[in-house]
Amino acid sequence: MQLQHLLGIEYLNPQQINTILDLADHYANKNRTDSRNSNVLLGCTQINMFFENSTRTQASFEIAGKRLGADVMNMSMEASSIKKGETLVDTALTLNAMHPDLLVVRHPHSGAVDLLAQKVNCAVINAGDGRHEHPTQALLDALTIRRSKGRLHRLNIAICGDIAHSRVARSNIILLGKMENRLRLIGPATLMPTDINEFGAEVYHDMQEGLKDVDVVMMLRLQSERMDGGFIPSEREYYHRYGLDAGKLSFAKPDAIVMHPGPMNRGIEIDGEIADDLNLSVIQEQVEMGVAVRMAAMEILMHNSRQNKKEMNE
Ligand code: NCD
Cβ atoms of 173 and 159 within 8 Å: the answer is yes
Q: Would you say the CB of residue 261 lies under 6 angstroms from ligand 1?
A: yes
Mutate to test the pocket of ligand 1, among 56, 113, 134 (most ligand atoms within 8 A of CB): 134
Q: Tell me the C-alpha distance between 27 and 136, whole Å.
A: 15
Q: Would you say the CB of residue 303 lies under 6 angstroms from ligand 1?
A: no
Q: Tell me the C-alpha distance between 176 and 139, whole Å.
A: 10
Among 22, 103, 55, residue whose Cα is nearest residue 292: 22
Residue bearing the bigger pLDDT, 53 or 298: 298
pLDDT of the residue at 63: 98
What value does the mean pLDDT take over residues 84-100? 87
pLDDT of the residue at 118: 94
Give tens-digit pLDDT for 111-131.
999 999 999 999 999 999 999
User: Any idea which of 63-67, 92-96, 247-251 has the lowest mean pLDDT?
Assistant: 92-96
Q: Would you say the CB of residue 262 lies under 6 angstroms from ligand 1?
A: yes
Atom from ligand 1 closest to the CA of residue 134: 4
Q: How far is the CA of 263 from the centre of ligand 1 (A)?
A: 7
pLDDT of the residue at 196: 81
Q: Would you say the CB of residue 221 lies under 6 angstroms from ligand 1?
A: yes
Residue 177 bridge partners (DSSP): none
Give tens-digit pLDDT for 252-297.
999 999 999 999 999 999 999 999 999 999 999 999 999 999 999 9
Q: Would you say the CB of residue 188 lies under 6 angstroms from ligand 1?
A: no
Atom from ligand 1 closest to the CA of residue 290: 8
User: Count of CB atoms within 10 A of residue 94's CB?
Assistant: 12
Q: Would you say the CB of residue 65 lies under 6 angstroms from ligand 1?
A: no
Is the confidence at residue 160, as pLDDT, over 70? yes
Give tens-digit pLDDT for 186-243.
999 999 998 888 888 999 999 999 999 999 999 999 998 888 777 888 899 999 999 9
Q: Would you say the CB of residue 178 lies under 6 angstroms from ligand 1?
A: no
| Arithmetic mean of pLDDT over the chain | 94
pLDDT of the residue at 199: 82
Q: Would you say the CB of residue 167 lies under 6 angstroms from ligand 1?
A: yes
Q: Whose CA is nearest to atom 12 of ligand 1?
A: 221
What value does the mean pLDDT take over residues 18-36? 98
Model confidence at 184, in pLDDT bands (50, 70, 90)? very high
Residue bearing the bigger pLDDT, 21 or 81: 21
Is the confidence at residue 1, as pLDDT, over 80? no
